[in-house]
Amino acid sequence: MNLPKYVLARIGFYVFVVIVATAFALPLLWLLLAPFGRQATLAVRIPSEPTLANFVSVFRNAFAMRALFVNSIIQAVGAMLLITAVATLTAYSLSRIRLPGRDMFVYMLILFSSVVTGSAAMVPIFLLIFELGLIDSHTGVILVFTGGLLPVAIFIMRDFMQSLPKSYEESALVNGASTLQMLRHVVLPLTRPGMMVIGIWAFVNVWGSFLIPFILLRSPDRMPAATATYSFYTEAGTPVITLVSAYALLYILPVLALYLFVNWRYGFQFFGGIKS
């Protein structure tokens, strides 16, 4: 190839990459710096006199702290466990049992799921949860999230399960394992990476959702962090940027912690089939 042209193409490519990377990095950088500033600003700059005062006021806000460290955790962990457990069991049976119309069933589920968490269904969902007497309860929030996220979780898990050769299970049975032993010794460990992905995905989804808890919950002491951010707005409705950014920084910590924990404990590696 002609050398100057090649060099130009390379330079163009790097410029493009830098622009894109900056577009993504700037908000994150702001999030890391703004909480330590004295004045509210939307500019990304290292604060001249860093302070922890913003964090102190955030920690003094009992409502916001309870939202973040109790309510959000209850709802996200609850939905995560429920979704992972149900998706794993459903996906396993869907991938191992021959049923007529099995694939159709999964695609229909996917279709419906976009409806459940979409805003169009908010009124019926509100009415449904109201009729069930689950308005203003963690259970109601967890169930709605589970309903909305489960189909995609099942879809992903089923794909994952189908890529596991059946011969692992068959060899366990021939080796003398009971069905339960086979599930515990072979299927569960091999499925764990998939469960981790689904679990974290579900957690992050619930953690970051605003609309559903905002509609279904009323009492301040059940609100999750996403809605509690409103407590850092002035009465005129403008955000107090120093406090919102400090709260937002705390808000991402549990997600980060979960990710690091799972990665440390189990790793995200997949055991594929053995290559020969």
Partner 1 sequence: MARVLFENVTKEFGSVKAVNDVSLEIQDGELLCLLGPSGCGKTTTLRLIAGLETATSGRIHIGDTDVTRFSPKDRDVGMVFQDYALYPHMNLADNIAYPLKVRKVREAARMERAKEVADHLRIGHLMERLPGQISGGQQQRTSVARAVVHEPRVFLFDEPLSNLDAKLRLESRGFIKHLQQEMGVTAVYVTHDQAEAMALADRIAVMQDGVIVQIGSPLEIYRNPQTSFVANFLGSPPMNLFDAEVRNGSFVGSSFELDAKGVKEHSALNDGDSVTLGIRPEHVRVSPKPMKNSIASELYAFEALGPESILSFRIDEQLLVARAFGDDPPEIEMGQTAYLSFEPRHLHLFNEHGSRVNAD
Residue of 178, 221, 233, 257 that binds partner 1 (CB under 8 A): 178
Whole-angstrom distance, CA of residue 30 vs CA of residue 51 = 15
Q: Is 265 in the site for partner 1 (CB under 8 A)?
A: no
Taking the complex as a whole, the smallest distance from the CB of residue 153 to partner 1 amounts, in Å, to: 22
Cα torsion angle, 268, 27, 225, 115, sign: negative
C-alpha 42/C-alpha 27 separation (Å) is: 9
If we measure between CA atoms, which residue out of 190, 119, 127 comes closest to residue 160?
Answer: 190
The nearer residue to partner 1, 68 or 190, going by C-beta atoms, is 190
User: Residue 122's CB: how many other CB atoms inside 10 A?
Assistant: 17
**Separation between Cα atoms, residue 123 and residue 5, nearest integer Å:** 59
- Window 181-200: contact mask with partner 1 (x via CB under 8 A): x---xx--xx----------
Place of tokens 């229909």: 108
**Lookup: tokens for 32:** 């890391």
Q: Which of the ranges 6-14, 51-59, 168-176, 216-224 carries the binding residues for partner 1, by CB under 8 A? A: 168-176
- Of 106, 144, 161, 172, the residue at the interface with partner 1 (CB under 8 A) is 172
Nearest approach, Cβ of 106 to partner 1 (angstroms)? Answer: 22
274 touches partner 1 (CB under 8 A): yes
Name the residue nearer to partner 1 (CB basis): 60 or 98: 98
Site residues (vs partner 1, CB under 8 A): 165, 167-168, 170-178, 181, 185-186, 189-190, 271-276
